[in-house]
């Protein structure tokens, strides 16, 4: 399959590229983009759109501040706008990276299911919390896709918003001709880990770029069945390591005390590799939400597998820059209160964009509708594989299929995603609930408890469920948790 954007000469012009950033007030992604672009062999302008225009203005100021530094080699200009149409008009590339207030969304995503015994580790891409994140995000992204169709239909669209699979699928469902790809760094992290193993055990001086893997699956539930480092087959090493002491560790809550929620001990990864013969290529904190054996039993089970749960307290603090170590404080950099170093991030956006303009080819993992690149999965469903990026072309690479047990697991999650996206076309809440019932975490509940959990999440997040016809829902009307007149 090839996703192509018309005549290759249309991507950018003599004045450089024009990028629209939807969600340009971002506290993490936008500052990372600014730094990457300043070090790129590309020039142009970036229009930062956000409903919180003050945040976009702050990032625009930061972007222009970075451009004035001696280390900046590229020529970019930044401006903020609260007008989506203005931001998109004539754009060559569109970045979409948004989220709602975590204190009003992520917190109930984590806390309400916990009352029903569901201990999602992240609650961002699958499970009750992930499905509700999809339900509040998809209608907005249908609007974005419609606006792109009107103002820049040939633009390349890069989706970083979770849940990546749901959101990217919704963009195509609304605008089938859109040139959209979903990007995620989980596979990059796996390649980095494999490079470390090659260096430590094979005496190689390896980096992530030296490792190639055959990727297939869905975002945050991807799998690898081939791995090489500078041509050396890593599979015998992985099979040896999987039987070693480091791959069979058990943890307690005390062992994890003080650890970051992003700590990845790879114990879930090794267990799945031993059982199924293929290597998961996402962090353990994501894998446990798709392979749900590892969250049965709640916090104690998560602890045993070395997974640090993302608690609602972390989500709430992350929204407050003064309390968050992850949030980038660009004002502190610009004021001199924090030392600034112009260094690249570990993201691949600039590499992909450069390859699209002719500086390729470049191979990386992407999320695109399935047209045969992953065997045994539904056509049109968004899947994650490697792709070759060339001038104005993204061509997914055929990755093959799965062992039967893995295929069964992945198909079940695809069915959840497709059911919810289809329901969003008309805002049919009861049809979305059917997808909710299919989820592996929800299937641990009785039908009545599943309904009440669904209704409680609706009540908690109703202000963010635009586009869903709540009043017409029989499921909500049957629930004691949902108030009716």
The residues assigned a catalytic role are 185
Per the CB < 8 A criterion, the answer to whether 160 and 29 are in contact is yes
Q: Report whether 106 contacts 162 (CB < 8 A).
A: no
Helix (H) or strand (E) holding 86: helix 84-88
Going by DSSP bridges, is the β-strand pair 3-4/393-396 parallel, antiparallel, or unpaired? antiparallel
Query: Left, alpha or beta for 6 (phi > 0: left; psi -120 to 50: alpha)?
Result: left
CA distance 411 to 409: 6
CA distances from 66 to 62, 161, 195, 328 (A): 6, 25, 32, 14
b or e along 307-343 (b: 16 or more beta carbons within 10 Å of the residue's beta carbon)?
bbbbebebbbbbbeeeebeebbebeebeeeeeebeee
Phi, psi of 169 (to 5 degrees): -60, -40
Q: How far, in Å, CA of 305 to CA of 432, rounded?
A: 32
- Cα gap 191→91, rounded to integer Å: 32
The span from the first CA to the last CA of the chain, in angstroms, equals 51
**Helix, strand, coil percentages for the chain (3-state, nearest 5):** 45, 15, 35
Q: Three-class SS of residue 320? A: coil
CA 350 to CA 156: how far, in whole Å?
A: 13
CA 155, CA 473: separation in Å to the nearest integer?
A: 37
Contact 357, 40 (CB under 8 A): no
Residues 6 or more apart whose Cβ sits within 8 Å of residue 117: 298, 444, 445
């Amino acid at each position: 399959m090839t996703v192509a954007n018309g005549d290759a000469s249309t991507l950018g012009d003599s004045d450089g590229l024009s990028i629209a950033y939807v969600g340009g007030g971002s506290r993490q992604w936008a500052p990372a983009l600014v730094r990457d672009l300043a070090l790129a062999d590309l020039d142009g302008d970036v229009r930062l759109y956000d409903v919180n225009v003050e945040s976009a203005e702050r990032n625009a100021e930061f972007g222009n501040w970075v451009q004035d530094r001696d280390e900046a080699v590229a020529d970019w200009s930044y401006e903020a706008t609260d007008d989506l149409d203005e931001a998109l008009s004539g754009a060559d590339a569109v970045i979409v990276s948004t989220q709602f207030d975590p204190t009003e969304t992520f917190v109930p995503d984590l806390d309400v299911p916990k009352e029903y015994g569901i201990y999602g580790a992240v609650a961002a891409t699958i499970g009750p919390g992930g499905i509700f994140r999809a339900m509040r995000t998809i209608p907005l992204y249908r609007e974005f896709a419609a606006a792109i169709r009107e103002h820049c239909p040939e633009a390349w669209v890069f989706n970083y918003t979770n849940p990546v699979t749901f959101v990217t699928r919704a963009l195509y469902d609304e605008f089938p001709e859109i040139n959209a790809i979903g990007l995620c760094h989980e596979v990059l992290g796996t390649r980095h880990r494999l490079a470390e193993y090659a260096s430590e055990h094979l005496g190689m001086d390896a980096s992530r770029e030296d490792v190639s893997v055959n990727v297939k699956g869905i975002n945050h539930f991807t799998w690898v069945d081939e791995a090489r480092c500078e041509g050396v087959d890593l599979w015998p090493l992985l099979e040896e390591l999987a039987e070693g002491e480091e791959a069979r560790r058990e943890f307690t809550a005390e062992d994890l005390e003080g650890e970051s929620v992003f700590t990845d001990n790879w114990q879930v990864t090794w267990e799945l590799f031993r059982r199924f013969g293929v290597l998961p290529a996402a962090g353990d904190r994501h894998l446990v939400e798709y392979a749900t054996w590892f969250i049965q039993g709640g916090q104690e089970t998560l602890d045993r597998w070395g997974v640090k749960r993302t608690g609602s307290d972390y989500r709430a603090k992350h929204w407050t820059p003064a309390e968050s170590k992850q949030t980038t404080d660009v004002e502190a950099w610009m004021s001199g209160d924090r030392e600034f170093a112009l260094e690249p991030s570990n993201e691949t956006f600039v590499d992909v964009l450069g390859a699209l303009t002719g500086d390729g080819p470049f191979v990386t993992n992407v999320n695109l509708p399935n047209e045969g690149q992953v065997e045994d999965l539904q056509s049109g469903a968004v899947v994650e594989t490697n792709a070759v990026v060339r001038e104005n072309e993204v061509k997914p690479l055929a990755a093959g299929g799965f062992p039967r047990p893995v295929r069964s697991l992945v198909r079940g999650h695809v069915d959840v995603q497709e059911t919810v996206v289809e329901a969003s076309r008309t805002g049919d809440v009861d049809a979305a609930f059917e997808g909710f019932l299919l989820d592996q975490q929800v299937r641990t509940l009785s039908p009545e408890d599943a309904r009440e959990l669904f209704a409680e999440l609706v009540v908690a997040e109703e202000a963010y469920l635009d586009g869903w016809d709540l009043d017409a829902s029989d499921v909500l009307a049957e629930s004691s948790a949902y108030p009716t007149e």
